[in-house]
Structures are given as structure tokens and as C-alpha cells.
Amino acid sequence: MHRISQHMPRRDAMAEEWRRRQAERTSTGPSRARETEITLEPLSFDARSANELRPATFDQMVGQSRLKRLLRRIVANHATTGRPLDHIMLAGQSGTGKTTLGQVVAHESGAPVYQLLAPLDFATFDALRRCCHDGDVVIVDEIHLQQTGDRRGVTQAPDQETYFSVMEDRRLTTPTGMLPFPAITIIGATTDAGLLSEPFLNRFPLRLTLDPYTPAEMALLAMANAHQLGVHITADAGLMFGRASRTNPRQVNTYVKNAVALGYGSIDRAVAEEVIVELNGCTLDGLTTDMQGMLRCLLRSRRNNGKGEVVYQASVNTIATATGHSRDSKYVSLYVEPFLLQQGYVCVTHGGRQLTDRGVVRARAL
């Protein structure tokens, strides 16, 4: 008891110091507000630079015909009525143009647009309150992180009720009361809408999922990007880039930029093959080195399933180890197997991942 009582005064002093620092951190006084004040600037669409591949208008944007047709009508109606755009949730795989579509909608509506990355903390909401006006658009990338937290560490993001009051009531909740908030439009972009709660999703009257791109659209995108970068590209090379991109516009952009980085002023079939195969290690149908490794791993994992049938099956941990990812099964699930599942090369079974008949043929051809 004597030893414990010796440390009690020190622990009390530490607790008091912690409370003092917390009070300073959450202080709303003028001096503290000046220290933590954030300044936000809207995006500029006045001119596209020579290396800017992101379109600014519906006409410049390749693909997504259905969504562009509907969003044109929504934007036109917004201009007629003068009301702010409804909140929009855009869902789709990484690199498929969610942020681009959000920027195009904002630009076409003529509203200033602010682009932020979730999770947003209270200071950011307060900065938006001070700099935004009615009708402004705020794009929030990876908005699902607002609920799951920042993967890099502990997040200081407020709970989703802050979003609700801003989006519906046009007010920002503070420890000392409610502050008026401008009637902004929030466009959320997410790769996984399933991570968002139903109450959160319900605050977005427009919930849109991006459509898959066709091979012709991907080839057209490659040619448009090459033109924007000032290089010539043949139709065959555009088709090769489109086929190897796994219907992902960002990957097409990467291929075109790679050709420019290699010093080519013109892109033909030979250049396209060099970029895809030699530089990126992909096959001409878009299989990355990890995807190829997964198919080879499964092909080597041949066994009898006890019913007289030969199967090619392995656990996700085995596949991760075989592809050099130290049993990181999450990496396989997120980045390697989705395209193989889409192509019908792999199926999910209770014993792990298994090659389909089509997958066996493709794996043997590697």
C-alpha cells in the first residue's frame, strides 16, 4: 500500500495534464480557432493541361452512356429550378471513373467543386461551412472510410450523425450548439458501398453504380488519351491497350503514359506489346504477374477430390504465399482474384479457390 500511495500524486498530476491538453485541443475560443483553421480551395476547370487526361464535360467523357444521359437531365433540371443537386453516391471499382464523373457533374452544373478524401474530421466540416455557398459541390472520395476509419491509424472523424445534420438539416453540430451550414451537394465515391450503413446510404437520393466498359470504349479511351498527350496511336494498338486493361480506364491511362515515358512519339502494335508485356509484366488479355502466379499455383495443386474427379484447388493462404505475399489472403481477395472470377477462370469453394475447366486451359497456356 505504501508503494501505491507513493505513485498516486504523480498519476493525479498526469491525469490533470491530460485533461488540460484535451481541453486545449477541443477549445472553441478565438485563439484556438485561428490555430486550427483550414482553408479549402475549389477545383479549377478553366483549362486542361497537356498531360491532363481527366475530362471536364460529358462530351469529353468516354463510356457510361446510361449514366451520362440521366445525369444530363438531372443537371438540366437543376439549372431550371435553381435548387441544389441532390446528394449522389457513386459506386464502382477503383479506377473506373467515379471521381471523374463526380467532377463532370459538378462542372456541368456550373457550381464550384471541392474534392476531399474521407474520413472528414470536424475541422474540415467547419472549413466547408465557412468557405462554401448554397449549391456548391463537395466530392468525398473513399467515403466508406468515414465509417470504417482511416486505415493509417486512429481517426478523428466525427460520427455519421454529423453528415446527417449537414446533408438534411443544413446545420453543423458543435459542443456549444448548432451552426448554420450552406445547402451543398455531397457526391460520395466508394469502391464498396456495402461498408456503408443503410441510414447513411439513405441520405443519398441518387445512388448510382458505374457500368462496365466495352472493349470498343476502352480502345476509344486509349486513343483519346494518346491524342491528349500529343502522340499518335494506331487503332490496333488502342485495341491492344483496351483488351489488356481489364476494362479499367486508369489502367489504359497508365499504358499510354508508359509509352510516352519510353520516348515514343507514335504507338503501334509493337510498342503496345512492349508496354504491356515487358514493362508491366501483363499478358495481352490483361493478366498481371500475380494473376498468372495464382493460375500457375492452382494448376500445380492437382489432386483427387475423393469422388474420382481431378481438381485444381488451393487455399487463399497458399496462393498468397506462392505469389510472394506472405500469406496475405486479403491481397489475393482484393487485387488478384476478382478479375479471374469475372473471367470464369476461378471459382470459390469450401476448400479454397479452384480452377474451372476454362481456367485450366488458360493456366496451361501461360
Residue 317 predicted with pLDDT over 80? yes
Q: Please identify which residue in the block is written with the cell numbers 467523357.
A: 61
Of 304 and 33, the one with more pLDDT: 304
State mean pLDDT over 358-362: 96
What integer pLDDT is reported at residue 159 of this predicted model?
Answer: 67
Quickly state the pLDDT bin for 336 (edges 50, 70, 90). Answer: very high
State mean pLDDT over 349-358: 93
pTM for the model stands at 0.78
Residue 332 predicted with pLDDT over 90? yes
β-pair type (310-314, 352-355): antiparallel
Summarize pLDDT for 261-287 with one digit per residue, the tens. 999 999 999 999 999 999 999 999 999
Long-range contacts of 17-25 (CB under 8 A, 24+ apart): none
CA distances from 166 to 162, 184, 280 (A): 6, 9, 44
Residue 301 predicted with pLDDT over 80? yes
Of 12 and 40, the one with more pLDDT: 40
Report the amino acid identity of residue 56. Answer: A
Summarize pLDDT for 185-200 with one digit per residue, the tens. 999 999 888 888 888 8
What integer pLDDT is reported at residue 326 of this predicted model?
Answer: 85
Q: How far apart are the first and last CA of the chain?
A: 72
Backbone φ/ψ region at 29: left (φ over 0), alpha (ψ -120 to 50), beta: beta
Long-range contacts of 321-329 (CB under 8 A, 24+ apart): 322/293, 322/294, 322/296, 322/297, 323/290, 323/293, 323/294, 323/297, 324/293, 325/290
What integer pLDDT is reported at residue 23 of this predicted model?
Answer: 52
What integer pLDDT is reported at residue 45 of this predicted model?
Answer: 59
Domains of the chain: 65-209 (3.40.50.300), 215-279 (1.10.8.60), 289-364 (1.10.10.10)
What integer pLDDT is reported at residue 148 of this predicted model?
Answer: 56
Quickly state the pLDDT bin for 152 (edges 50, 70, 90). Answer: very low
Residue 138 predicted with pLDDT over 60? yes
Summarize pLDDT for 75-101 with one digit per residue, the tens. 999 888 888 899 999 999 888 899 999
